[in-house]
């Protein structure tokens, strides 16, 4: 027998205690949505996991109203220290239920269990721990003494890191004293709904966290809602642009974390074996479904062939298959739609003259799969060098000098991340200085930490998430003007409903005419 055909080592699904149907989580309760329910499937088997409610505009209204009530009655009045206690409690519960969450994430998303277990879920807990610590120290967030929260945050997150993106959004928002309405992606709602259970377990006051599920129209209704003070979105540049248009001219604050086409630059003096690992981690981590993925490999021409040869050898050892098997390196593509897009762009690569190489691996019959693929002979004009593929596809481009590497790396409408591989410290600093990207990794790739800010240049979005900088997206300086609607509402504190609605209505109409 071949040792390398490791015997199956599947993580047990027994730890999951899923319901057959999930409602919307509004005001601390699961309620049925008014839209048409949809099913969420496992992309590895195409089997149904559960039925999920869909929120229509009345559900969005209810969720935003619940968040507003919670903001005014409890959360904005609570001391930072007490908010911190809730966040610490959530963080501990996330750790306690880590294995369950990891299994659910791999099941719903298709990512390998070793990633959800060793990367996603530990980072989720770390994010809550980190921002829990900030809750009573907002005076030191860089906005002056006594900064104020914004109010209700509408948050829309993508399917590539469902629970981690939830943590990136919810943890800083709550620490800063905001309440949230969050919409997970249509294809990956499961862990957000498990998180709703954790919110209940933690006894968080009702309405502080609301989770509504649905497709794009639900998200559009949420971000366009007149009574939200803040919109945070992570996802595609096209949708981000539409959201920016929606909130333009309103008081709503906006942060966007969008696409990327990161350059991973390998110089000829790079630590070669570690660079190969970094390239693999940069583009094949999470099947390449990473906005900051190192999808453009820029290799110094004098080591190009050696790097490509070693890379192919390494890719041949990657194991594609059941996401719940602990030895799986490459899981399933999240949806048929995404698989089609990856195929389309890969075909375009071949048509435009790039040379395709795909690792040999057995593709399961059911589910959505794409074997790790490298394109060489890629020109900067090829679609696969310009457009975000969001899949396990790497485009390799040669360069001759550091100046050319920088020019090619910056030659993209995106600017989320970049990587530099060299043994020379001074070159790392010199090149990093000239790269226009929000995150630059040196001799590593795809490393995240809650204390480190993350965000993009140009079409990769604006605003920063993580670290002290991430708090600024959810706070305003003490003296800053408060939008009219919340000002009225806040001054009348407990006498909630009526005055707020009247304050909000004219604004909505104004927005309508503008569009």
Partner 1 sequence: MSGSQLVHPARERAVAILGGDPDDATLRRYLHGIPGVDAVGLEQRAAGLGSRSIKTTSKQWALDKIIELIDLTTLEGADTPGKVRSLVAKALRPDPADATTPRVAAVCVYGDMVPHAVEALGAAHGDPDDGLVSVAAVATAFPSGRSSLAIKLQDTADAVAAGADEIDMVIDRGAFLAGRYGQVFDEIAQVKEACARPDGTSASLKVILETGELNTYDNVRRASWLAILAGGDFIKTSTGKVQPAATLPVTLLMLEVVRDWHRLTGQRIGVKPAGGIRSSKDAIKYLVTVAETVGEEWLQPHLFRYGASSLLNDVLMQRRKTTSGHYSGPDYLTID
24 strand-pairing partners: 31
Q: What are phi and psi of 394, to 5 degrees?
A: -115, 130
Residues in the interface with partner 1 (CB under 8 A) total 26
d(CA 318, CA 330): 7
Helix (H, G, I), strand (E, B) or coil at 100: helix
Length of the chain: 515
For residue 291, indicate whether it is catalytic: yes
Catalytic annotation, pick one of 186, 291, 292, 459 = 291
For the chain, count helices (H), then strands (E): 18, 20
d(CA 307, CA 15): 42
> Could you say whether residue 251 binds partner 1 (CB under 8 A)?
no
Catalytic annotation, pick one of 257, 387, 388, 459 = 257
Nearer to partner 1, 117 or 261 (CB): 117
> Could you say whether residue 344 binds partner 1 (CB under 8 A)?
no
> In the complex, what is the shortest distance from the CB of residue 316 to partner 1, in angstroms, rounded to a whole number?
10
d(CA 512, CA 515): 5
Nearer to partner 1, 32 or 273 (CB): 273
> Could you say whether residue 312 binds partner 1 (CB under 8 A)?
no
Nearer to partner 1, 114 or 458 (CB): 114
> In the complex, what is the shortest distance from the CB of residue 424 to partner 1, in angstroms, rounded to a whole number?
10
> Could you say whether residue 118 binds partner 1 (CB under 8 A)?
yes
> Could you say whether residue 444 binds partner 1 (CB under 8 A)?
yes
Q: Which stretch binds partner 1 (CB under 8 A): 80-88, 139-147, 238-246, 271-279?
A: 271-279
> In the complex, what is the shortest distance from the CB of residue 298 to partner 1, in angstroms, rounded to a whole number?
17
d(CA 147, CA 142): 9
CA separation, residue 422 to residues 26, 37, 267, 325, 402 (Å): 51, 52, 6, 35, 11
Q: Which stretch binds partner 1 (CB under 8 A): 76-84, 96-104, 188-196, 269-277?
A: 269-277
Minimal CA–CA distance to 262: which of 294, 221, 291, 231? 294
> In the complex, what is the shortest distance from the CB of residue 123 to partner 1, in angstroms, rounded to a whole number?
16
Q: Where are the alpha helices (DSSP H) in 225-295?
A: 237-247, 272-284
Residue from 4, 14, 494, 498 in contact with partner 1 (CB under 8 A):
4
Minimal CA–CA distance to 512: which of 239, 181, 250? 250
> Could you say whether residue 14 binds partner 1 (CB under 8 A)?
no
Query: Does residue 297 contact residue 266 with C-beta atoms inside 8 Å?
Result: yes
Nearer to partner 1, 354 or 440 (CB): 440
Nearer to partner 1, 33 or 278 (CB): 278
Task: Count Cβ atoms below 10 Å from residue 426 Cβ, excluding itself.
Answer: 8
Within positions 95 to 114, which residues make up the interface with partner 1, using CB under 8 A? 114
Nearer to partner 1, 317 or 509 (CB): 317
Residue found under tokens 């490298």: 374
> In the complex, what is the shortest distance from the CB of residue 186 to partner 1, in angstroms, rounded to a whole number?
32
Nearer to partner 1, 143 or 270 (CB): 270
21 membership: H or E segment, kind and range: strand 21-22
Q: Which stretch binds partner 1 (CB under 8 A): 1-9, 221-229, 284-292, 402-410?
A: 1-9
> What is the per-residue burial (b if ≥16 Cβ within 10 Å, else e) of 223-250?
bbbbbbbbbbbbbebebbebbbebbeeb
> Could you say whether residue 301 binds partner 1 (CB under 8 A)?
no
> Could you say whether residue 7 binds partner 1 (CB under 8 A)?
yes
Nearer to partner 1, 203 or 269 (CB): 269
Residue from 216, 271, 453, 477 in contact with partner 1 (CB under 8 A):
271
CA separation, residue 110 to residues 43, 161, 356 (Å): 6, 11, 25
390 to 429: interface string for partner 1, x by CB under 8 A: ---------------------------------x------
Q: Which stretch binds partner 1 (CB under 8 A): 51-59, 184-192, 226-234, 272-280?
A: 272-280
> Could you say whether residue 1 binds partner 1 (CB under 8 A)?
yes
Residue from 278, 331, 398, 415 in contact with partner 1 (CB under 8 A):
278
What torsion, rounded to 10 degrees, do the Cα atoms 117, 120, 126, 127 define? -160
> In the complex, what is the shortest distance from the CB of residue 284 to partner 1, in angstroms, rounded to a whole number?
13
DSSP string, 442-499: ES--S---TTS-B--SGGGEES-BSHHHHHHTTEE-TTSPPPHHHHHHHHTTTS-HHH
Helix (H, G, I), strand (E, B) or coil at 397: strand
User: Which residues are identified as catalytic?
Assistant: 257, 291
Positions touching partner 1 (CB under 8 A) are 1-9, 114, 118, 269-275, 277-278, 317, 326-327, 423, 443-444
């Amino acid at each position: 027998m071949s040792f390398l055909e490791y015997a199956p080592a599947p993580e047990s699904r027994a730890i999951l205690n899923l319901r057959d149907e999930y409602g919307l989580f509004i005001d601390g309760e699961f309620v049925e949505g008014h839209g048409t329910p949809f099913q969420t499937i496992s992309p590895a088997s195409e089997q149904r996991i559960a039925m999920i409610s869909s929120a229509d505009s009345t559900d969005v209204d209810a969720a935003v109203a619940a968040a507003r009530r919670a903001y005014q009655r409890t959360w904005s009045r609570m001391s930072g220290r007490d908010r911190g206690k809730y966040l610490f409690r959530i963080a501990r519960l996330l750790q306690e239920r880590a294995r369950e969450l990891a299994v659910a994430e791999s099941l719903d998303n298709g990512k390998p269990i070793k990633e959800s277990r060793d990367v996603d879920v530990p980072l989720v807990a770390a994010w809550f721990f980190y921002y829990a610590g900030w809750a009573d120290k907002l005076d030191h967030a860089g906005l002056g003494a006594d900064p104020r929260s914004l109010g209700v945050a509408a948050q829309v997150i993508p399917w590539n890191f469902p629970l981690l993106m939830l943590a990136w959004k919810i943890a800083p928002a709550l620490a800063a004293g905001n309440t949230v309405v969050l919409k997970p992606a249509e294809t990956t709602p499961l862990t957000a709904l498990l998180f709703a259970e954790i919110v209940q377990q933690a006894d968080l006051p009702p309405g502080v966290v609301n989770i509504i599920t649905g497709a794009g129209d639900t998200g559009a209704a949420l971000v366009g809602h007149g009574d939200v003070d803040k919109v945070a979105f992570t996802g595609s540049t096209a949708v981000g642009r539409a959201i920016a248009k929606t909130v333009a001219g309103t008081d709503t604050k906006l942060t966007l974390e969008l696409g990327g086409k990161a350059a991973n630059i390998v110089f000829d003096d790079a630590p070669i074996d570690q660079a190969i690992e970094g390239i693999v981690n940069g583009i094949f981590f999470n099947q390449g479904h990473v906005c900051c993925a190192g999808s453009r490999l820029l290799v110094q021409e004098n080591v190009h062939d050696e790097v490509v040869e070693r890379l192919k050898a390494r890719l041949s050892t990657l194991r594609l298959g059941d996401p719940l098997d602990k030895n799986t390196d490459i899981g399933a593509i999240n949806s048929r739609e995404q698989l089609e897009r990856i195929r389309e762009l890969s075909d375009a690569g071949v048509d435009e003259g790039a040379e395709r190489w795909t690792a040999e691996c057995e593709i399961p019959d059911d589910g959505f799969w794409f074997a790790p693929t490298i394109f060489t002979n890629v020109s900067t004009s090829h679609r696969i060098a310009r457009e975000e593929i969001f899949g396990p596809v790497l485009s390799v481009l040669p360069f001759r000098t550091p100046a050319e590497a920088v020019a090619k790396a910056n030659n993209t409408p995106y600017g989320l991340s970049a990587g530099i591989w060299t043994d020379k410290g001074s070159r790392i600093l010199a090149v990093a200085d000239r790269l226009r990207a929000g995150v630059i990794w040196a001799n590593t790739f795809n490393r995240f930490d809650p204390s480190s800010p993350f965000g993009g240049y140009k079409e990769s979005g604006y605003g920063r998430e993580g670290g002290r900088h991430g708090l600024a997206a959810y706070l305003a300086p003490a003296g800053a003007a408060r939008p009219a609607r919340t000002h009225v509402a806040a001054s009348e504190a407990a006498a909630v409903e009526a005055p707020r609605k009247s304050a909000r209505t004219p604004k909505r109409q104004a927005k309508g005419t503008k569009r």
